[in-house]
Structure 1
Amino acid sequence: MTTAGYDLTIAQMTRGFAEGSLSPVTVMQAVLDRAEAFNPRINALIFIDGDLALEQARASEQRWQQGAVLGPLDGVPITVKDSIAEASRPMYRGSKAHVGSGPVGKDAPPAARLKEAGAIIWAKTTMPDFGMLATGVSSAYGITRNPWNLACNTGGSSSGAAASVAARCGPGAIGTDLGGSVRLPAAFCGLVSLKPTQGRIPHLPPSPVRSAGPLTRTVLDNALLLNVLARPDARDYGALPYDPVDYAAALPRDVKGLRLGLQLDAMGDVAPIPAVRAAVEKAAAVLEANGASVEIVPNALPADLAGIMVDSYLVRGAMEFRKLPEERRALVLADLVPWFPKADAMSGFDYAACLDRIEAAKGVLLGQLAGLDYLLTPTTLVAGFPAEETRGPLDGFDIPLATSMWNQTGNPAITVPCGIDPDSGVPIGLQIVGQRFDDRGVLQLAAAYEALRGFAMPWPE
């Protein structure tokens, strides 16, 4: 086993801790040293508390030695996104308008589950203002950069989560996903990330479309985190009944006989760039060569749906903006502010009509999925693009075109790396969508592809 510490997976860490061949203190120090060296380049990590992290690592080491661990993640360093409440740290939600507020004093369900399982929350990660961008630009933190190419964007909104794990500043991170916000940056940074069946992971405030999700370098690590995050929390009244399934068991699966759909064009009939298309088609061919049947599924969503989705996001963002005191609004990222008058101009009737159109589109999507076991799509239709670009709802909705509707339907969807763009050097992601509640099956198929794809990720230095 490598002793570098920072580049170990969660599975390797916990096995080493259990065997006594690895110390949580050594690992934690290695991760902190790695972050000190690399975070200034990528700008992904905030609210780092190294002293507390090492204190917790020493306590974890004693528990492992005494055979009294708190849970399956005891001593594992994990970060949480700025929008996930963690008691000892502030929560700015990426916006300078919130800078100066103190620790929130409470743990959201994902943070609480990590702590109960013994994980060390040693930092939080950057995000764009209010989570409204599919890119890594923030008024509070500036530009978060992609470790594969520092000139390129991470995607968003879990931008720092993806960049830090890809740079091997820790083995895993927890982000949140409203329209692709764990899957998009994971794809751009070469990671695995699951948006689970809606309600699988309790979170606050309860939402019918937003979920927390893990970002890791392997499918197995994603499943290990889901085992912990999916544990019940009565505070989320929209959460699913707890299912004690072991998501890390039976990985990977045999793909023989699976009925897979391949959908390359996204809503609005927008096609992926050639490099993305080629990588996803090659991934589908790998699964087909191993016994799955693959059929092309054309995009059947209405061409104007992207604009309708934009309107729904704008209303949500404008609501958060209007809650701010007047004197704080000028601190919000300037690129966002011109979008909000469009939301202000929408009537209640307009917004209700928008939601009705989304409901109709959900029926179309689920109808296409009905005869399939899983659907394969590109996670993003583009690859590397400049790090400083905001590309928000009114000036570039091309990034979440393949991901956002699965938040609306509630289906589980995972991204797994399937190639690297030859021009930018930025990874390309394959999205696997499953039937509702089939989170385990989605992880199993992702693990099968990971094992069959024929290449290992050449993590950037």
Structure 2
Amino acid sequence: MSLADLTATELLRRYRERSLSPVEVLEDVLARVDQLEPHLCATYALDPEGARAAARESEARWRDNTAGPLDGVPVTVKENIATRGTPVPQGTAATELIPAAEDAPAAARLRAAGAVIFSKTTMPEYGMLSSGVSTFHPLTRNPWDVSKTAGGSSAGAAAAAAAGYGPIHVGTDIGGSIRLPAGWCGLVGLKPTHGRIAVGNPYPGRAIGPLTRTAADAALALSVMSGYDPRDHTSYPPPPENATLQNTDLVNADLENAASAPESALRPGLRVALLLDAGLGLPVDPEIAAAVSAAAAVLEKAGAIVEPIAPIITREMLDGLDRFWRIRSATDIAALPEERRAKVLPQILDWVSTAGELTGADVFHGYSQMGAMAAAVTAAFRSHDVILSPVAPITAFPAELAYPTDDPAKPFEHIAFTVPYNMSAHPATTLNAGWSTTGLPIGAQLAVPHHQDLTALALAGYLDSALSDHRPWPTQL
């Protein structure tokens, strides 16, 4: 196995043993990037020399026994998470390229933990697409099939994780932007409880979380990035469990136990809601329904009580959110100078073109649907401990399409399984539950009550070990 494909937990073990150096690992990762990046276009502001210097510093800290909890681990950060000195174009040519003055909270915590941030990753136009289509970045593609999208808006993060650009990649999620690309690229993607990881520029529904190949690596990244930051009034101090998470051995033990002993992840009588029909949007592909049902059967065999449930959200809720986001984006775009406004992706301009037809009542009602979604999800958790569903109703769609519907008037027909948990602030994670007949990953989603992020990851780790069809990662294109 290439060093670029080692998990973060394995790298840290090898660093502690002095059997491996961060410098060696980074060179392998950069070689992988050189090999695959012409096909995938996942990176932005790649900084090999800065990363090499950081890796040498990490090597010295391991030698001096002063290493941090992620010391020497190669990490990428999504383009819209500010890193000092790098512009934040938000995926669009319409943005002025002004270097960020400081690291956003998540990036700062990663650096403080010793992570080697060697690159940013790409995102689509304003982060408002579930694809890699952008007027600023080259088109990002899926390593499993380069004719397909890697998803979005954490497009580059997902492509980089699947292709082995190191073990930990950090994305953002406001309607599924971590979980959709993670599902379409066969990854663990965690949207944590809102406030657990400080965003820095909070907005209703917005969260930051890891995209990784394993649940253990996601837990490790979560532990490092968690915590209060005064730049984000929605953030809060780490929960008590995080005291143990600072020890990476304990993170590994917790998740490895969950993978090897069902009772450690599945308490007796765990109530699992099986949601196979979102009740709106694109129909669920039968292959996806079958894969998620098979995951439910694994949990049931291990002692869980699995019950199908009716759809959680309604057409009114999703359409209301669309109207609110439409007017929000239209307002932002209208404030741009004309020459910059003309650079915005045509599909986004088409989407916001009807915003002027909305009344104040329409916009207020749309805003209220965020609360309506939150109430609907909260009600579902009164009778269930876990909600298991597809991540998306379809597998990865053609890379060149901005939307899976190819219709700016219907942009959100694929997010009905993911967006409710943004509005309700509940944690939700993905895992690869199977494969389509064309060899594309099929993602399953596990949503859990607030602050039970590790429960979701432990269940994902268990299911990953119990579902037998594991395929080699797409590191040769």
| TM-score, structure 1 normalization | 0.95
Contact 2:281–2:413, Cα closer than 8 Å, also in 1: no
CA contact (8 A) 1:208 1:238 kept: no
What is the Cα deviation at residue 347 of structure 1?
2.7
User: Shift of the alpha carbon at 1:427?
Assistant: 0.5
CA displacement at 1:300 relative to structure 2: 4.2
Deviation at 1:312, TM superposition (A): 2.3
- Alignment correspondent of 1:445: 459
C-alpha deviations, 1:25-47, integer Å up to 9, x for none?
A: 00001101110110110111111
Structure 1 residue 361: deviation in Å?
Answer: 3.5
1:383 equivalent to 2:395? Answer yes
User: How far has the Cα of 1:201 moved from its partner?
Assistant: 0.6
- CA spacing shift, 1:272–1:350, aligned 2, 3 Å: same
One-letter amino acid of the structure 1 residue matched with residue 415 of structure 2: P
Structure 1 residue 262 corresponds to structure 2 residue 259: no
Mean alpha-carbon deviation: is it higher for 303-312 or for 13-22? 303-312
Q: Residue type matched to 1:440 in 2? A: L
Query: Which residue pairs with 1:372 in the alignment?
Result: 384
Contact preservation (8 Å) 2:278, 2:417: yes
How does 1:36-435 map onto structure 2 within 5 Å?
A: 36-69=34-67, 71-98=68-95, 101-245=97-241, 246-247=244-245, 248=251, 250-251=254-255, 252=258, 253-255=264-266, 256-268=268-280, 270-391=282-403, 394-423=409-438, 425-435=439-449
Moved more, 389-398 or 162-171: 389-398
Identity %: 41
Task: Tell me how far apart the structure 1 counterparts of residues 327 and 448 of structure 2 sit (CA, whole Å).
Answer: 29
Distance 1:239 1:175, change over 3 A: same
Contact 2:318/2:369 (<8 A) preserved? no
Distance 2:444 2:102 in 1: 36
Cα deviation for residue 395 of structure 1 reads: 3.2
Distance in 1 (CA, whole Å) between partners of 2:301 and 2:48 is: 48
Shift of residue 211 of structure 1? 0.5
Residue type of the alignment partner of 1:422: T
Amino acid in the other structure paired with 1:96: A
Ranges in structure 2 where 5+ consecutive residues have no aligned partner: 246-250, 259-263
Letter in 2 for 1:75: G
Q: Secondary structure, in 3 states, of the residue corresponding to 1:275?
A: helix
Q: Which moved more, 1:214-223 or 1:363-372?
A: 363-372
The residue that corresponds to 1:17 in the other structure is 15
CA gap of 1:167–1:300, structure 2 versus 1, over 3 A, is closer
Deviation at 1:363, TM superposition (A): 1.9
Could you tell me how far 1:175 is from its partner in structure 2?
0.5
SS in 1 for 2:190: strand
Q: How many residues align?
A: 456
Tell me how far apart the structure 2 counterparts of residues 305 and 322 of structure 1 sit (CA, whole Å).
26
Shift of 1:169: 1.2
Distance (whole Å) between structure 1 residues aligned to residue 271 and residue 88 of structure 2 = 43
Q: Report the Cα distance in structure 1 between the residues aligned to 2:336 and 2:352, rounded to whole angstroms.
A: 13
Shift of 1:448: 1.6
Distance 2:450 2:49 in 1: 42
- Quote the offset at 1:420 in angstroms: 1.2
- Counterpart CA distance in 2 for 1:208 and 1:411 is 13
Query: What 5-or-longer segments of structure 1 have no aligned partner?
Result: none
Query: What letter corresponds to residue 473 of structure 2 in structure 1?
Result: W
Q: Is the 8 A contact 1:7 1:170 kept in 2?
A: yes
Cα RMSD after superposing both structures: 1.6
Counterparts of 1:320 and 1:204, CA distance in 2: 19
